[in-house]
Amino acid sequence: MNSEKESAFRILSHRGGAVQPMFDAAPIGPLSPSSSLLVERRDLEPTSWQSHFLKEQLLHFFMKPAVIGYSLKDAAITKIPVAHGQAVFCPRREWHNIRWAERISVLSIRIPDSALMEAARERLAERSLEIVPRHVVTDDRLTHLLFALDAERARGYSTGKLFVDCIESALANILLTSFNTFAPRSIPSRGGMAPRVLRRVVEFMHANMDQQIGLKDLADCAGLSLSHFSFQFRASTNQSPHQYMLRLRIERSRELLANSRLSVLDVGLEVGFRNQQHFATVFRNSVGVPPSVYRTQL
């Protein structure tokens, strides 16, 4: 990955008189496959005070307890105790100062305004989008999503971009509904997609099973905005697009495993898994046995 392309996938802040990566230490593991939802995991050594200015919303998700020194620019310093599994909001478009006296382990997630505005479509006037940067957030939905995101990062994003896109959409909706200054209007109950539209989307999924398609690809196929598509797809299938695609991949892999000329790895790659280990894990969780064992039972 060249430096210009890599910078598009890094979380940047204005610090030290220039726009640069948020921290000096390199992220652990691979970068997010999305240029929208940026994800970086780090173990950081103690540091002196740092000043940051972020253009878009950032969450720091703590993987072990910590105490963070914090203040807005020129304001009083506050010590913030953070527990394992809690998140800290960093204010966007406002200078803030941070420091920590002990080693910390943190997952940093940048959620762009474009994702928030997509979640707010038809629910908020644009001027009403104002996320409140609470210091520490304890929210079971947020915690569940961020642990799942870190687990996917540790696997090398083997599920692909669709998973990350679905996480981004879910995070944006949580921020909008729980942490926005103005309460959003509720979304009217819908009966889901028209059968012909759902059929077109499922056919697209089948045809592109071995590709790393994103949520926007599916929404465009349906002729819907991202926000409409996510809600209507779940209403129609009772699953997220990512969950539904996993089910299609497992169904197709069961068919392909009957072909003894294909190795288990070949089958996994054919249905869109990036490595054999992740394919075997998802297959076992769905079917009850690993794909190699399933093949012997045919």
Query: What is the predicted pLDDT for the residue at 177?
Result: 78
Q: Specify the pLDDT at position 89.
A: 85
**Cα 99 to Cα 202: distance, rounded to the nearest angstrom:** 49
- Which residue is it, tokens 């949580």? 174
Burial 209-226 (b: 16+ CB within 10 A, else e): beeebbbebbbebbebeb
Do the beta carbons of residue 210 and residue 279 sit within 8 Å?
no
For residues 83 and 65, the answer to whether their CB atoms sit within 8 Å is: yes
Tell me the whole-structure pTM to 2 decimals: 0.85
Tracing tokens 């089948």 back to the chain, one arrives at 206
Asked if residue 115 has pLDDT above 70, the reply is: yes
| Per-residue pLDDT at 2 exceeds 60 | no
Instruction: Report whether 230 contacts 274 (CB < 8 A).
Output: no
Encoded amino acid at 219, one letter: A
pLDDT tens digit sequence for 262-286: 999 999 999 998 888 889 999 999 9
Q: What is the DSSP letter of 103?
A: -
- 60, 87 Cβ separation under 8 angstroms: yes
pLDDT of 3 reads 45
pLDDT of 128 strictly over 80: no
In this prediction, residue 238 carries a pLDDT of 92
- The predicted structure's pLDDT at residue 221: 96
- What distance in Å separates the CA atoms of residue 169 and residue 178, rounded to the nearest whole number? 14
Please report the pLDDT score of residue 217 as a whole number: 95
Percent of residues, the chain, with pLDDT higher than 90? 59
pLDDT tens by residue, 69-95: 988 887 888 899 999 999 988 878 889
- Bigger pLDDT: 3 or 120? 120
Q: What is the pLDDT of residues 224-259, one digit of tens each?
A: 988 889 889 999 999 999 999 999 999 999 999 999
The pLDDT of residue 5: 45
* Angstrom distance (rounded) from CA 177 to CA 128: 12
CA distance 173 to 167: 10
| Residue range 161-171: mean pLDDT, rounded | 92
Q: What is the 8-class DSSP label of residue 252?
A: H
Kind plus residue range of the DSSP H or E element containing 69: strand 66-72
In the block, residue with structure tokens 């915690």: 143
